[in-house]
Amino acid sequence: MQTTSKSPILTARNIVKQFGSAPVLQNASLDIYPGRAIAIMGPSGSGKSTLLHILSGILQPDSGEVLFSGRAIQALKEAERTALRRSSFGFVFQSGQLLPELPALENVALPLILGGAKVDAAKQQAAGYFSPLGLAGLENRRPGEMSGGQAQRVAIARALVTRPAVLFADEPTGALDAHTSHEVMTLLCEASRHTGAALVVVTHDPEVAHSCDSTVHVREGQLTAPIAKGETW
């Protein structure tokens, strides 16, 4: 059941966004809680990725606000928003996000190195994520030498290595078969529970949403009330 005793880590209030004259989001509101996984569902083109980009400060809404730990992120300067994204948010996409020329270990260490860590220290920290994610022994493989599921687990490790407060995943299993998709979702949810990070999963796949603690649907630019796992929907 959804616990609401904790304060939300991220809140979207009355988000409006249109591209040209086409309205995409019209008054979308949402609360996201630490250590819980929420699925954002909706058909292709319904505005899921747009919402995720607004929640993570990549895109500015036309109106409405996003609060991270109670602070309005739209009010920050662009450089401050970028710093917030680097320090507090992790991202997993459908596929193709790893650098093909780098071994898995260096791909995972990269966000730490970009954040100013020494290469050896970053690699050491990154190495700690391989065994828990079932990747032991694959440290020196390049993305092209791994299965889709393995590459996606490396991408999860890379998203987790900076210890984000919120982990955003946009169709993270979109390129995987059903079995591997289930494995990847289980890992994402476990990682969220274990680290206390909120997990926000955008998906059009009911099976993927089912792994999450709650689900909201994008409907005509608004979000339906969250439905907790186990409730009929």
Ligand X SMILES: Nc1ncnc2c1ncn2[C@@H]1O[C@H](COP(=O)(O)OP(=O)(O)O)[C@@H](O)[C@H]1O
Interacting residues with ligand X (CB under 6 A) = 19, 24, 42, 44-50
The secondary element (H helix, E strand) that includes residue 182 is helix 178-195
- Could you tell which of ligand X, Mg ion, none binds residue 232, using a CB distance below 5 to 8 A set by kind? none
- Beta carbon nearer to ligand X, 15 or 133: 15
CB 86 within 8 A of CB 111: yes
Report d(CA 109, CA 202) in Å as an integer.
25
* Count of residues engaged in binding Mg ion, rule: CB under 5 A: 1
Which single residue brings its beta carbon nearest to Mg ion?
Answer: 49
- Could you tell which of Mg ion, ligand X, none binds residue 19, using a CB distance below 5 to 8 A set by kind? ligand X
CB 164 within 8 A of CB 192: no
- Beta carbon nearer to ligand X, 54 or 122: 54
- Contacts of residue 53, defined as CB under 8 A and 6 or more positions apart, other chains included, come to 59
Q: Which of 31, 32, 40, 49 binds Mg ion (CB under 5 A)?
A: 49
- Beta carbon nearer to ligand X, 10 or 24: 24
Backbone angles phi, psi at 195, to 5 degrees: -95, -15
Least separation in angstroms between CB 122 and ligand X: 32
Beta strand 227-228 pairing with 214-219: antiparallel
Least separation in angstroms between CB 46 and ligand X: 4
The secondary element (H helix, E strand) that includes residue 16 is strand 10-19
- Beta carbon nearer to Mg ion, 49 or 152: 49
- Contacts of residue 151, defined as CB under 8 A and 6 or more positions apart, other chains included, come to 95, 98, 143
Least separation in angstroms between CB 6 and ligand X: 28
- Beta carbon nearer to ligand X, 58 or 146: 58
Identity of the amino acid at 186: T
Tokens of 108: 């995972």
* 162 is an interface residue for Mg ion by CB under 5 A: no
The residues facing 222 across adjacent strands are 219
- Could you tell which of Mg ion, ligand X, none binds residue 47, using a CB distance below 5 to 8 A set by kind? ligand X
- Beta carbon nearer to ligand X, 11 or 46: 46
3-state secondary structure of 102: coil
Least separation in angstroms between CB 49 and Mg ion: 3
Least separation in angstroms between CB 45 and ligand X: 4
Where do contacts with Mg ion occur on this chain (CB under 5 A)?
49
